[in-house]
Structure 1
């Protein structure tokens, strides 16, 4: 689950040019070392689908986003069966690796916390 600290920390790093210059090369190195881009995945393709919040977020994707996600998963599965990554020209480029699912997951989490607040609200007669 994504907490408010991780979001505010990312915004803080992005707002500081000096900090961004230090963190960005490390973040790019880590993403490349993780290896998911070699199989054509975006970072959000790796979120655990069995979580209820991710399930609800997946339902909110557009038809095109759902199709693209399924295509990336099938293509990566085929590459995994062949025991080798995709050709270099098919790797996910860092500028294409946008967070398409995270905003929906965050919205679902906000809705859940709001629902929880309203479900436990006590009404008292004055």
Structure 2
């Protein structure tokens, strides 16, 4: 199950977007994940079966890139360093690659649940 989100609520209110944008930028920079070469979807925990299914649906290149970024960030964390500024993940590069697959898996699970609990109607023949 993905994390709860207020994106739709905030997206419908431009004044709230304007208010929260600086806070969101500050929080993203304070988390240091981009300074370690990670993308936001790299931070999704692999302890969930849906996440494991989504990881299995990644292309081999996406999977390799994810593992490389996580291992490099782990090494940097152990050394208490960050990457040189030219190697940081840029905001335009930080696009979701796992979240859309995870949302599709959750939608499939909901659809399967709905079909599994479907009660046949008694018809008069």
TM-score by length of 2: 0.84
Q: 1:17-65 deviations in whole A, cap 9, x for unaligned?
A: x443332222111111111112111111000111111111111212221
Structure 1, unaligned runs of 5 or more: none
**Aligned residue-pair number:** 123
User: Pick from 98, 102, 111: which aligns with 1:101?
Assistant: 98
Segment drifting more, 3-12 vs 98-107: 3-12
Q: 1:57-109 deviations in whole A, cap 9, x for unaligned?
A: 11121222112111101111221222212222222122211111111111111
| Structure 1 segment 83-102 matched on structure 2, within 5 A | 83-102=80-99
Structure 2, unaligned runs of 5 or more: none
Which protein shows a greater Rg? 2
Q: Which residue of 1 aligns with 2:2?
A: 2
